[in-house]
Amino acid sequence: MFNDKISTPPTGHRLKPGAKIILLLMIGAVLFFGFRTAVSRGWIPAPGIAKALIPSKAALPDLKEAVVANVEPAPYPEATAASVKAPLIRTEIWAWNAQMNYIYANGGPDTTRNSLMEKHGANVKLLRQDDTSQMQNDLIACAKELHDGASQCSAGANYVLIMGDGSGQFFAAVNPQLKKLDNGAGEYLAQVIGSTGYSRGEDKLMGPPEWKSDAQAAKGGLVAGVLRDGDWNIAMKWAADNQIKNNPDEKTWDPEALNWVNAPDYIKAAEIYNANTCEDRKVVHDGRLTGESKNVCVNGVVTWTPGDVNVAHGRGGLVSIVSSKQYRSQMPDVIIGIKKFNQDHRNEVQGMLAASFEAADQLKAYPEALKRAAAISAKVYNEQNGEYWLKYYQGTREQDKTGNMVELGGSAVNNLNDNLLLFGLQPGANNNFRSTYTVFGNIATQQYPALFKDANKIPDVKEILDTSYVLGASSMLSQTGAEADVASFSSSGDTGTVVSKRDWSIEFDTGKASFTSDGERKMYEIKDDLAIAGALFVTLNGHTDNTGTREGNMDLAERRAQAVRDWLQRKAPANFPDSRFRIHAYGDSKPLASNATAEGRAKNRRVEIILSGKE
């Protein structure tokens, strides 16, 4: 039989405390010296010594495929998320190809490994937001968080990317609210710090073909678009340059002016036209009711890609009357952020710009990088595919639904040199941002004086522009990059289709080709106007009254036209090369009014400016 009781060893077999200690020391010594022997002989990895690894293969563009000079290939961004030890930069963007470099620099909606944002220490989150008013609210929300002590924003947006020509209206809505945070000290104001690119064709006024052949045929037109936005600005400049009135009242119809249907966004503007929208409106003349009513239908659109594509494929029948291709300096995509965040995180902000500039060089130089950028854009926008965004980034001509050939799309990205040119930081360059901001801010104020007054007036450009971040980013770049993208003009041959004709009454000293003080002020206005239309030839036609001899008047007319050209070239030679100008003298042969009165003679002393360009 087995005994179920568990026996215990005799107490005499237990180790004494001293023996236990000796045994433990012996075991420890064996383990220690055994571990050292194993490490020294390579049997196990040594702590603190990294294992040699084959580096991860970094995919690079092929230098032989570069289509521009001075751009070394940079690795393509990966798809996996990066870990950047920097404040999160929440950036809201439209679906707009002019920021493709900014998107490529980030690698996706969030900063990815091997991306240029990671390289330059920027941690960016991209958020699509097509509603400009929501962008304004989100920028204000972020500023409030910063004011309350947050180091980074948990909601809202640190930055928004919008059309520079419409930024004055944006600032008029946002900065009065931001000034309240610090009782007007201005530390939380929104400001422009740089640019990602340009619209170069995709933003446009679309209308019936007869508007293109005769601008005056647009009188009485009804155009759908976002009022006081960048695309509306294109129509405003075109109307001003062709001396066509604009009716700012969207409830009436003026047969001598452009008329408007206000759309909430650029996609809806296209939908309004495609739906063949018609309205009963009261007829006005010079702002006064005539007592009549008329049923009028939308026959024009201001929009951008994919709005222009939707018009062409949906209903068709419209062509590009004028676009940011002709007004090539009008519409930079500007980066707007909160002054306080910019100052507190200057290194990260300059790194963000440096990454965007370097990405622009990659897209300019390497077709494969551009193709990948378009695919990343589709992912960020959550719309269409890479082929779609690449096609309309490059711009194309297609048949619309009615068989018309129409121009669609067209954008460009801005590197460091493009930014230096845009903001007048290169010798001899006009500050094109100041020009576009001021010209279109003045137009908005003229058309809607009740909206932009007092505390809500459009601020001076000096309040909202800080170019120090562009200059700071330049010190972070190791290569000069591609040359700035500038328009080229043939010194001979056809100047293309006439876009606009406008008579400018420039006051000259009597019998001379020198400007009066009023004439000098007018010249600054002309400089801004022509700088915006940076892709167009400038024809200067000189005219006089009938005072003096025919021969003398022809000579005076030519000298005055030349004086206009020479003044522009002294102020901004980079914007006004000789090859851009054509000069003609007509003397007193083409009067606008009777020379029998002083008033009529004053109208006849003028310089007519014709803007034209090839498709």
What are the pLDDT digits (tens) for 157-168?
999 999 999 999
Choice between 424 and 33, residue whose per-residue pLDDT is larger: 424
> In whole angstroms, what is the distance from residue 14 CA to residue 33 CA?
29
124 and 349 in contact (C-beta within 8 Å)? no
- Whether the per-residue pLDDT at 194 is higher than 80: the answer is yes
Final residue of a structural domain among 323, 355, 385: 323
> Are 194 and 208 found together in one domain?
no
For residues 432 and 542, membership in a common domain is answered with no
Give the mean model confidence (pLDDT) for residues 466-475. Answer: 97
pLDDT (0 to 100) of residue 539: 95
Helix segments in 275-415, DSSP class H: 307-314, 339-344, 346-365, 367-381, 386-394
Is the same domain home to 106 and 190?
Answer: yes
Closest CA to 336 of 175, 471, 185, 194: 194
Report yes or no on 48 lying in a domain: no
Quote the pLDDT of residue 503: 84
Q: Residue 55 pLDDT > 60, yes or no?
A: no
Per-residue pLDDT at 615: 62
pLDDT tops 90 at residue 234: yes
Sorting pLDDT into bands at 50, 70 and 90, what band is 18? Answer: low
Q: Are residues 356 and 456 in the same domain?
A: yes
Averaged pLDDT, 422-449: 95
Instruction: Among 296, 323, 350, identify where a domain stops.
Output: 323
- The reply to whether 462 falls in a domain is yes
150 and 92 co-located in one domain: yes
pLDDT at 91 over 80: yes
Predicted confidence (pLDDT) at residue 51 exceeds the cutoff of 70:
no
User: Is residue 312 in a domain?
Assistant: yes
Structure confidence at residue 198 (pLDDT): 97
Whether residue 338 sits in one domain with residue 317: no
Amino acid identity of residue 162, one-letter, is: I
From residue 33, how far is each of 25, 40, 41, 46 by CA, in Å? 12, 10, 12, 14
Say if residue 544's pLDDT is above 70.
Answer: yes
**Residue 7 above 50 pLDDT?**
no
* pLDDT for res 6: 42
Q: Does position 35 have pLDDT exceeding 70, yes or no?
A: no
Q: What is the pTM of this model?
A: 0.87
- The pLDDT-based confidence of 329 (bands split at 50, 70, 90) is very high
- Looking at the chain, how many residues does it have? 615
Exposed e or buried b per residue across 558-572, where buried means at least 16 C-beta atoms within 10 angstroms of its C-beta: bbbbbbbbebbbeeb
Domain assignment present for residue 37? The answer is no
20: Cβ–Cβ under 8 A, 6 or more apart, which residues?
A: none
Q: Give CA angle at 538 (533, 539), nearest 5°.
A: 150
Read off the pLDDT of each residue in 510-532 and give the average, rounded to a whole number.
92
Domain hosting residue 600, numbered range: 497-613
Q: Which pLDDT does position 13 carry in this prediction?
A: 52
Output the domain CATH number for residue 132. Answer: 3.40.190.10
Segment 364-378 shows an average pLDDT of: 97
- The residue ranking higher by pLDDT, 86 or 39, is 86
CATH code at 552? 3.30.1330.60
Cβ-based neighbours of 200, under 8 Å, separated by 6 or more: 324, 325, 328, 395, 410, 411, 412
- Report the distance separating Cα 344 and Cα 138, nearest Å: 20
- Are 336 and 465 in the same domain? yes
What is the 3 state secondary structure string of 469-490?
HHHHHHCCCCCCCCCCCCCCCC
Mean pLDDT lowest among 24-28, 115-119, 456-460, 574-578: 24-28
How many Cα atoms occupy the beta-carbon half-sphere of 494 within 13 Å? 6
Q: How far apart are CA 262 and CA 170, in angstroms?
A: 17
In a domain, 57, yes or no: no
pLDDT exceeds cutoff 80 at 41: no
Report pLDDT for 585.
Answer: 96
| CATH number (domain holding residue 276) | 3.40.190
**Is the same domain home to 514 and 582?**
yes
Predicted pLDDT at 11: 47
Model confidence at 286: pLDDT above 70: yes
Co-location of 425 and 526 in the same domain: no
- Is the pLDDT reported for residue 550 higher than 60? yes
* pLDDT-derived band at 179, boundaries 50, 70, 90: very high
Residue 50 covered by a domain: no
Examine the fold and report which residue of 270, 288, 323 is the final residue of a domain before the chain moves on. Answer: 323
Reported confidence tier of residue 509, pLDDT bands at 50, 70, 90: confident
Instruction: Identify whether residues 177 and 237 lie together within a single domain.
Output: no
* Closest CA relative to residue 202, chosen from 39, 445, 458, 393: 393
How many of the other CB atoms lie within 10 Å of CB of 291? Answer: 7
Average pLDDT, the chain: 91
pLDDT of res. 68: 83
In a domain, 441, yes or no: yes
What is the predicted pLDDT for the residue at 3?
45
What pLDDT is attached to residue 491? 76
Q: Is the pLDDT of residue 66 over 90?
A: no
Q: Answer whether residue 44 is part of any domain.
A: no
Domain count across the chain: 3
Residue 539 bridge partners (DSSP):
582, 610
Residues 518 and 590 in one domain: yes
503 shares a domain with 469: no
Q: Does residue 348 carry a pLDDT above 80? A: yes
